[in-house]
Amino acid sequence: MTYRLAHALEVLRAEINARWPGRDKTSDGWIGDAAHATRQSDHNPWIKDNRGIGVVRAFDADAGIGGDTGIGLTIAEHVRHLGATGHPALGAGAYVISARRIASPTSGWAWRTYTGTNPHISHTHISVSLAQGGYDSGQPWGLAGSKPPPPTPGARPTVRKGSTGAAVAELQRVLNAWYPTLPRLTVDAQFGPKTEARVRYLQQRAGLAADGICGPRTWAVLLGR
């Protein structure tokens, strides 16, 4: 059988590789193995395009367990946000699974507990729309272009409401890059109520404790580490 990866996922994969050029790809994958072939799976090319070619509508991106777990969470949250804001590749039949959570159009793209046998810790799974106009969409995903200029090396300080300084300004810039469709935060280096609310927004969607405090785990998600 002739088959191919959905074009929308080719675009996504290219953006992931551009944003994290040195990432671990051990758990990357798209075409199903023998185990997938025995069950209904988007990794199988069961859907045919208008030329009769089988299309794989799923892509697994390595979560970066070797010290880069933020990569998987970053991809998952970014895809979930795009689904909620109407990306054409994320219509009916689309979903994202990451770290025992799943989000899809049926849940309004809110995270809910995933109870499948594979918890998707080592990789993030993305399935795209059933319709060819969706799964072959060439619309950018915004991952390659959403990353701010490379941050300076070193750990970031924990910042919270009332904090000021360069780390807060960086946080505001990164949050604006993450959520370009939301009202922009003023980059004033002042951690006020709006910055706190945006941090909580990210944390809720990344499966973190939504305390509004930007500590090591929240920084890891934001910076794709």
One-letter-per-residue 3-state SS of 90-143: HCCCCEEEECCEEECHHHCCCCEECCCCCCCCCEEEEECCCCHHHHCCCCCCCH
Domain match, 49 and 121 both: yes
In which element (H, E) is residue 157 found? none
Its pTM stands at: 0.65
Domain match, 205 and 119 both: no
Helix, strand, coil percent values for the chain (each to nearest 5): 35, 15, 50
pLDDT at 36: 57
pLDDT digits over 128-177, tens only? Answer: 999 999 999 999 998 875 444 444 446 789 999 999 987 888 898 888 87
Asked whether residue 155 is assigned to any structural domain, the reply reads no
pLDDT at 79: 94
pLDDT at 154: 60
Domain match, 93 and 43 both: yes
Taking each continuous run of H as one helix and of E as one strand, the counts in the chain are: 8, 8
CATH number at residue 208: 1.10.101.10
* Domain end marker among 96, 117, 136: 136
Structural domain span for residue 51: 3-136
Domain match, 20 and 129 both: yes
pLDDT at 169: 84
Domain count, the chain: 2
Q: What stretches in the chain show pLDDT beneath 70?
A: 33-39, 65-70, 145-154, 224-225
